[in-house]
Amino acid sequence: MPSTITILGPNGHAGHAAAKAFAAAGWQVTGFGRANRKSLKGVAFIAGDAADTAQVKAAIETSDVVFNGLNLPYQKWFGGAAEAQLEAVLTALKGSGKTLLFPGNVYNYAASARVIAPDTPQHPETPRGAVRMRMERRLRQAAETEGFQAIVLRAGDFYGPGSDNDWFDLMILREVAKGRIALPTRKPVRHAWAYLPDLADAFVALAERRSELGLHESFHFAGHAVTADDLYAAIENTAGRSLKRTDFPWRMLGAIGLAMPMIREVVKMRYLWDNEMVLTDPWLAAILGEDFGTPFTAAIAATVAPVFTQIRAAA
């Protein structure tokens, strides 16, 4: 029998990529969410409310592994909402012996933490980072005492083909039809990016070796650590023509954020672009192998080429 997995939040960036990767690897995959907006061939779907522990428990009952792709909108993380969302999942998993896969991010670390390994002390730079740190502490405590396994895989900013409403869609390529791309910084610092198909494959690799791992494990996905100059060059190379480089309108976004909580929270994360932050993990690198992953230029091409194809078709 194939291994089984339930994807909580299959419409999100990470959840959708995970569903595709596990299905391609031969797993029996079920998605669980309010609506099946991004249905995939070979992936079953159960409609339900992730805030309802009973519904979550029923959805994961026959699965060996659970992928937590749930993520509240940026402005709704506070007041205990994010922790409550996680708690519903942990309660459903209690005593099950199942494995929970949890996507982590870099918010837990200070701007001064330039190279981040799994054992790097966590000192959040923002209230958002403090929320994530508390969530991961609770996850570890639950895994070690409440009868299930938890594997955290931390990564940088997601990107990939079809990842709408991300940095590329909303900001970087917003005016590309006019020959302009906007980049968040001009500083020569490396930023951590995670190409979603690769990240999802890494989750598959860890899930398939879960019996060799402890009750709680934390891994760091190196992904692509590149500067804004590197990103500009890769996009321009895919376009096959010169593009004008502009800057993110940070001041304008700050003003808009006075009225729009989501934008205000985005602006607070600017430090991630102005300070170098690179993920490293020799253990994960050994698990994945030397040939794992898509080269950066190929990953960027796969992400942005459809945009340029549409522009040429409309011309």
Residues 82 and 65 in one domain: yes
| Residue among 21, 31, 126, 125 at smallest CA distance from 70 | 31
Residues 252 and 136 in one domain: no
Residues 54 and 163 in one domain: no
Residue 281 lies in a domain: no
Residues 307 and 234 in one domain: yes
Residues 106 and 176 in one domain: no
Residues 55 and 198 in one domain: yes
- Output the average pLDDT for the chain: 94
Percent of the chain clearing pLDDT 70 (strictly above): 99
Looking at per-residue pLDDT, the higher value among 93 and 253 belongs to 93
Count CA atoms closer than 13 A to 297's CA, side-chain side: 8
Domain region containing 152? 4-157+194-223
Residue 109 lies in a domain: yes
Residue 283 lies in a domain: no
DSSP-derived pairing of the beta strands 278-279 and 115-116: parallel
Give the phi and the psi of residue 202 in degrees, each rounded to 5.
-65, -40
Residue 89 lies in a domain: yes
- Alpha helices (H) along the chain: 13-24, 53-60, 81-93, 127-145, 167, 196-208, 228-239, 250-256, 261-268, 271-274, 282-288, 296-314
Query: Which residues are within 8 A (CB) of 91 and not within 5 positions of it... i.e. 6 or more apart?
Result: 53, 57
Residue 199 lies in a domain: yes
Residues 149 and 242 in one domain: no
Residue 284 lies in a domain: no
Q: What is the pLDDT of residue 309?
A: 92
Residues 104 and 243 in one domain: no
Residues 111 and 187 in one domain: no
Supply the pTM of this predicted model. Answer: 0.95
**Distance separating the N- and C-terminal Cα atoms of the chain:** 51
The predicted model gives 38-54 an average pLDDT of 92
Dump pLDDT digits (tens) for 186-234: 999 999 999 999 999 999 999 999 999 999 999 999 999 999 999 999 9
DSSP 259: T
